[in-house]
Amino acid sequence: MSYDPTGHLLLTPVDREAPLRVRRLRQLGVGERPDPVFDEFADRLAEVTGAPYTMVNFIDEHRQFFAGLHTPDGVRPGADLGAAAAGAGAVSRYMDRDHGYCPHVVVRRKALVLEDVCDYPRFAGNPVVDEIGIRSYLGAPLIDRTGVALGTICVVDTEPRPWGRAGLETIKAMAAELVDQIHRREDGLI
């Protein structure tokens, strides 16, 4: 883990599994371009949780890529748009690895529930709070049959949300469902 020398806040954790993850993502053929199946999954995740933003997120050494994306206005930018091109407050398919909470979920390999990120000093200083206005996060890792944490599924809101135990169980169950779908795709069953 690394620390901000001025505030001693926890920053993005060191991810020693990233090279292995990148190899596995390439083997599976995911994580480099938008995928309609993952977009549909993100839409269903939004419907189930009531969250305005939902993502199927694959993470490499330097960035996060939302292969599945749901936004409240239904806009899904293409893979050619970077975070900088999206502008302040806009949603892109890409995000720097040091932004957001998914890198923590991948390294910890555990679901993360932040009903109000401002209640957690180590997470309140994340750039997504000021730059995008994120106030609530719920995410779970996508751990495949080889043991690699491929990425996450997550839901975020610009308002605090009482996710509770039900939210935690929902996000974990949906992550397991998506991993199963990825395995069936790899096996040629879908």
Residue 47 φ then ψ, to 5°: -65, -45
Q: d(Cα 65, Cα 12) in Å, to the nearest integer?
A: 16
Which of 87, 88, 86, 91 lies closest to 75, judged by CA?
91
- Residue 175 banded pLDDT, cuts 50, 70, 90: very high
What percent of the chain lies above the pLDDT cut of 70? 85
- Residue 92 banded pLDDT, cuts 50, 70, 90: confident
36, containing H or E segment: helix 36-49
As a whole number, the mean pLDDT across the chain is 86
Which of 175, 114, 121 lies closest to 149, judged by CA?
175
Q: Which long-range contacts (CB under 8 A, 24 or more apart) does 184-190 make?
A: 185/28, 185/37, 186/28
**pTM for the whole thing?**
0.85
Domains and CATH numbers, the chain: 18-186 (3.30.450.40)
138, with CB counted inside 10 A (0-12, 13-18, 19+), is: buried
pLDDT in tens, 115-163: 999 998 878 777 787 777 889 999 999 999 999 999 999 999 999 999 9
Q: How high is the pLDDT of residue 110?
A: 97
